[in-house]
Structure 1
Amino acid sequence: MKRVSRLTYAAALAAMMATSALPAFVVPAQAATLSGGFDVGPGGFQGNFNPLAATSGFTWLSVYYEPLVTYDEKLQKVVGLLASSYEVSDDQQTYTFKLADAKWHDGKPFTAKDASFTLELAKNAKTGSVLAARLTAISSVEATDDKTLVIKLSAPSASLLDTLTKVMMLPEHALTQIPADQLAKNSWWSAAPVGTGPFKFGRYVTDQYVELTANTDYRGGKPALEKVINRYFANPAAAIAALRAGEIQFTYVDSNDLNTFRDNKDFRIIEGNSFVVNYLGFNHDSSIWKDLRVRQAVMYAINRDAIIQSLYGGAAKPANCGYVADQVVPQDIEAYAYDPEKAKKLLEEAGWDKINGNKPITLLTYYTTPLAANVMAAVQAMLAQVGINVTPRAVDTPTYNSIVLNPTPDVAQFQMVYAGLQNGPDPSSINVGLNEKQIPPAGPNVVRARMPELTKALDTALGETDATKRDARYQDVCKVMNAELPWGTLWVANRYGVASAKLKDFVWTPAPGGGPYQAHPEKWSIAD
């Protein structure tokens, strides 16, 4: 196959930077203003203001909204945020949260009634909540007093705290009059949203930027910055050009962009594990993937090591199930080493010519960066070598979601997806992507995997209350994934951000979906 080289990508990037027209507007430069491309890349969700609908973009949303609990900046443990403390009962079915003394941006007090109201919204799929499927174990939510919230579960759930890190608290007094089925499309989100964070909503200039202003009454102290601005960019190249020109002070970058900033004292490269497994998702409602041998052939046909070295520059590692953490990956699973001859043999045994012939297969993705385009081209070429004809189709995230989450999707629109789902910091996270109970509209099992053994393994792991046995339960999940291939798992890549050296106390973590995590935006500042 023709190699898609890093030099080709670099040349394309340089050309884009030289010719890309930056937005016509100019955000006024101020010493106390931080501008960034916070929603550039896979951790962003440009144009989304509604945390109930957010599958990413939490880096930005958590500057003005806050959850009860969040991860620390190393993504190693869950800590309190709007909850000053929490306790879990011995049977792990009752969670009691003591709330911090906080105020909404409009001055009204944040109470346990707000927290209860928010959780009811998040549990209700009619609100457009993408979290509803993750909260089904909650049997009741009660505000026992203004500062105490009690959540009771119908059965223990190892994933509850992880899910709660993504439930941004919302004001009951501002939203209670909006019918649940009208909430998702209400103008409130982009016109007058109210949170509890260190910055409050200022204005939104359509498709250009969002401006937040300091919440001078923030319980953590007056923010060091006066404003934080999220600039929107058509692509990473335009964001990089703005960063180099000093128009913004931070953006996400692909691994191939790093040479632009290495050994440059004016910038700081931030690197970390994405915790996201990239995979080829087989739409199991499509007849072409019914035979396991066909799915195995896809795995053997792709030279993952070559892609990792040539396109990611070595900044990724192969994944042979939905996990990569050593403690949840068994030693004896199939490595699916590159073997195109074996792939051809499996396809012949399965009768691929009769199953599909050479008909094009739509490969849908929401990854729209140049690096992703190169990866898709490489995968397309490798599969073509063994007789599988895929046609990549890259769309924006809302379009992707509208296609794959449709209860009765047109199979021809996505017989296969190139996507990602976090495998950490909590391994329970992939349950929603693979459990049979999470098939749309119930949840985001977009590949429509109906594998009883996999669902049983996931349910067992989620219900394991003994922490010493949990890793073994997730190893069982890994074994089933590796053997049955609901996904063709590919790799976990590192993720990168670049910040101006002038930024002080700035925290950005390459977290799945952009977080949330403990970032203390109130401490961010810019040196003169």
Structure 2
Amino acid sequence: MSALGRLLLASVTILFLAGCEDPFSDNAARNRGFIYCGPGQPNTFNPQLTDGGLTADALSSQIYDRLLQLDPQTYKPVPMLAQSWEVSPDGKEYVFNLRQSASFQVTDWFIPHRGVNAEDVVFSFKRLIDPEHPFHTVSGGDYPWFESMDFAGLVDDVIALDDYTVKFVLSRPDVSFLSTLSTTYAVIHSAEYAEHLLTKGTPAKIDSHPVGSGAFYLDEYEPHRFIRLKRHWGYWNGAAPMEQIAYDISNRGTGSLSKLITRECDVLSSPIASQLSVIENNPDFVLASQTGMNVAFLALNTRHPALSELEVRQAISLAINRDALIQSVYYGTGTPANGMLPPMSWAYNEKSYVAFDPQLALSLMAKAGYRHGFEVDLIVPLTPKAYNPSPRKTAELIQANLAPIGITVNIIALEDINRKLLRDDIDELGMVLTGWIADNGDPDNFLRPLLSCNAKFTGWNLSNWCNRYFDRFIDSAIATDERNERRNLYLQAQRILNDRMPVIPLAHGVHYQARNASLQGITLSPFGDKSFANVSRSR
């Protein structure tokens, strides 16, 4: 079966966690917590196994801790489970000193007998890098985000020096390594829980029945209805003010805005642009915004007969009216993209410019031998994202823009992208409308996972593109900690992208979140992750 056929048929669920109290049947969740409404369905509770979505964006930061976290103002790594760290002079060894007050959660399926220590850090990362590790192949053995970063090729070993000191040994210097450990994917699991599951013969439960050290633990999950998290009283940074969080993942009612207005939701993640004025004009709600480290782009399969021609890719870029896109899809809230890096990135190329010139596009089509055009499929995930509030509308605009230069676009709408299935038959692809929300503030996080040669094999390089010169520049950029030198290397890498055009950058979006005015302590991160450890209700 083709990749497209499998995409249309594929559906995955994870184990049902039975519970007796429906959080939407009364005011229980609202009296003791709040209800969060956002798009997406989890297919695992382990973010290591995902490439984004609800698990990485809204669940991971509640259930799990990492060694480090990112300061939302400076984008620099700051302590979390690791209180301090040292880096060797050659940049190949990182030693972390762990806090001794962190405890794992007590759940219905496991009671821990010790706190977080170096053994848990070793377990969590050895699972990713060691093919012989007993948990490496559990739940499929795919770790897409880490694979796109060549994490296994970077980390040679993880060693517990004592109970609260752990060392990472790298194969090469990488100045973005601390930022990598700060992402919502780099979570710490309980090695004690893993050993318990092995003795029971149920190792996959580590991903469906999580045990973390975060501010909330998983209490109930009913697919396509709700997820309930409850307060971890032993949290090292102090117990959260809220007793519970209920995630509404259903399609109940008449829509997400209606749920907010009728108090079925306390928090609405990523309201669509057309809803913003309604929310702003209602004193019962607060509309927060955060300029996002994100980009929406069109990935072009460079092995496609027509899209393999550089002139065709250039023509597609010239034919897309980004100003019209910003007005009709983003309602004036976004920014036209001149490249993959957003303006807030320190490696942004402010001299880059993308023109709108349909006549020149026609000439390039003729030069490429496609004077009479061609037909191509465009895969469109329908779930709104911070980088693209209305993917279908964006796809229809692209379809309308490309028709005058002879390109007939067939829109293939999917709920979301399954990158593993796309990877398996990537040569069959045409165009994919997609995007990216950075996991940290380092430019490498935009360029390597999406466009490196290694990323072709992880399903994230949807352009099916590999350029050794591009890889050489981004590899050199992570081998030095001199900022100006790094920026020059990233500028050269971006020039290659502008010249070869495997992707068409479209826009940078603004992340919006609406909440009931009674809730305090909800903040937005430019990286999309959310922590609810400090949320409280004023009335």
TM (normalized to structure 1)? 0.85
Distance in 2 separating the partners of 1:25 and 1:123: 42
Instruction: Give the Å deviation of 1:187.
Output: 4.3
User: What do residues 12-33 of structure 1 show as CA deviations (whole Å, max 9, x unaligned)?
Assistant: xxxxxxxxxxx99636434221
**TM-align CA RMSD:** 2.5
2:93: which partner in 1? 94
Amino acid paired to 1:49:
F
1:418 and 2:433 are equivalent in the alignment = yes
Distance in 2 separating the partners of 1:234 and 1:486: 36
1:121 and 2:127 are equivalent in the alignment = yes
Contact 1:256–1:371 (8 Å) recurs in 2: no
How many residue pairs align between the two structures? Answer: 484
1:245: which partner in 2? 262
Instruction: Give the Å deviation of 1:453.
Output: 2.1
Contact 2:306–2:374 (8 Å) recurs in 1: no
> For 1:501-516, what aligned pairs fall within 5 Å after superposition?
501-509=517-525, 511-512=526-527, 514-515=528-529
Instruction: Give the Å deviation of 1:463.
Output: 2.1
Question: Which of 379, 395, 399 pairs up with 1:364?
Answer: 379
Q: In 2 relative to 1, CA 236–286 (structure 1 residues): closer, same or farther, beyond 3 Å?
A: farther
Distance in 2 separating the partners of 1:83 and 1:500: 34
Match of 2:399, SS? helix
Q: In 2 relative to 1, CA 330–188 (structure 1 residues): closer, same or farther, beyond 3 Å?
A: closer
Contact 2:197–2:206 (8 Å) recurs in 1: no
Distance in 1 separating the partners of 2:197 and 2:483: 42
1:452 and 2:452 are equivalent in the alignment = no
1:4: which partner in 2? none
1:522: which partner in 2? 533
Instruction: Give the Å deviation of 1:74.
Output: 3.3
User: What do residues 155-175 of structure 1 show as CA deviations (whole Å, max 9, x unaligned)?
Assistant: 111322222123111111222
Q: In 2 relative to 1, CA 199–27 (structure 1 residues): closer, same or farther, beyond 3 Å?
A: farther
Q: In 2 relative to 1, CA 146–367 (structure 1 residues): closer, same or farther, beyond 3 Å?
A: farther
2:354: which partner in 1? 336
Distance in 2 separating the partners of 1:351 and 1:70: 51
1:496: which partner in 2? 512
1:289: which partner in 2? 307
Contact 1:45–1:54 (8 Å) recurs in 2: no
Instruction: Give the Å deviation of 1:177.
Output: 6.9
Instruction: Give the Å deviation of 1:417.
Output: 0.8
> For 1:122-521, what aligned pairs fall within 5 Å after superposition?
122-123=128-129, 126=137, 127-133=141-147, 134=149, 135=151, 136-166=153-183, 167-176=186-195, 186-190=204-208, 192-234=209-251, 238-252=255-269, 253-325=271-343, 327-333=346-352, 335-353=353-371, 357-359=373-375, 361-369=376-384, 371-397=390-416, 399-406=417-424, 409=425, 411-412=427-428, 414-422=429-437, 425-430=441-446, 431-441=448-458, 444-509=460-525, 511-512=526-527, 514-515=528-529, 519=531, 521=532
Contact 1:32–1:224 (8 Å) recurs in 2: no
Q: In 2 relative to 1, CA 114–188 (structure 1 residues): closer, same or farther, beyond 3 Å?
A: closer
User: What do residues 221-244 of structure 1 show as CA deviations (whole Å, max 9, x unaligned)?
Assistant: 222111111110449972222111
User: Which one scores higher on RCO, CA 8 angstroms, separation ≥ 6?
Assistant: 1
Amino acid paired to 1:379:
I
Instruction: Give the Å deviation of 1:396.
Output: 3.0
Amino acid paired to 1:157:
D
Distance in 2 separating the partners of 1:476 and 1:256: 38
2:47: which partner in 1? 51
Match of 2:207, SS? helix
Amino acid paired to 2:469:
E
Contact 2:315–2:364 (8 Å) recurs in 1: yes
User: What do residues 54-82 of structure 1 show as CA deviations (whole Å, max 9, x unaligned)?
Assistant: 32233222111111111123362211111
Match of 2:362, SS? helix
Instruction: Give the Å deviation of 1:183.
Output: 9.1
Percent identity reads: 24
Amino acid paired to 2:103:
K
Contact 1:36–1:249 (8 Å) recurs in 2: yes
User: What do residues 276-326 of structure 1 show as CA deviations (whole Å, max 9, x unaligned)?
Assistant: 111110112222222111100000000001111222122111222211236
Match of 2:302, SS? coil
Contact 2:300–2:462 (8 Å) recurs in 1: no
Distance in 2 separating the partners of 1:376 and 1:235: 27
Contact 1:92–1:465 (8 Å) recurs in 2: no
Contact 2:32–2:243 (8 Å) recurs in 1: yes
Match of 2:306, SS? helix
Contact 1:123–1:129 (8 Å) recurs in 2: no
Contact 1:320–1:482 (8 Å) recurs in 2: no
Contact 2:380–2:395 (8 Å) recurs in 1: no
Structure 2, unpaired ranges of 5+: 1-21, 106-110, 131-135
Structure 1, unpaired ranges of 5+: 1-22
Q: In 2 relative to 1, CA 288–175 (structure 1 residues): closer, same or farther, beyond 3 Å?
A: farther
User: What do residues 369-409 of structure 1 show as CA deviations (whole Å, max 9, x unaligned)?
Assistant: 47221111111110111111111223233x53233232xx0
User: What do residues 85-120 of structure 1 show as CA deviations (whole Å, max 9, x unaligned)?
Assistant: 222223222111111221111343111111011011
Instruction: Give the Å deviation of 1:495.
Output: 1.3
1:84 and 2:99 are equivalent in the alignment = no
Distance in 2 separating the partners of 1:391 and 1:178: 47
Contact 2:232–2:240 (8 Å) recurs in 1: yes
Deviates more, 1:279-288 or 1:464-473: 464-473
Amino acid paired to 1:34:
F
User: What do residues 29-65 of structure 1 show as CA deviations (whole Å, max 9, x unaligned)?
Assistant: 342211102x42xxx6644412112322332221111
Distance in 2 separating the partners of 1:236 and 1:313: 26
1:6: which partner in 2? none
Match of 1:31, SS? helix
Distance in 2 separating the partners of 1:47 and 1:241: 27
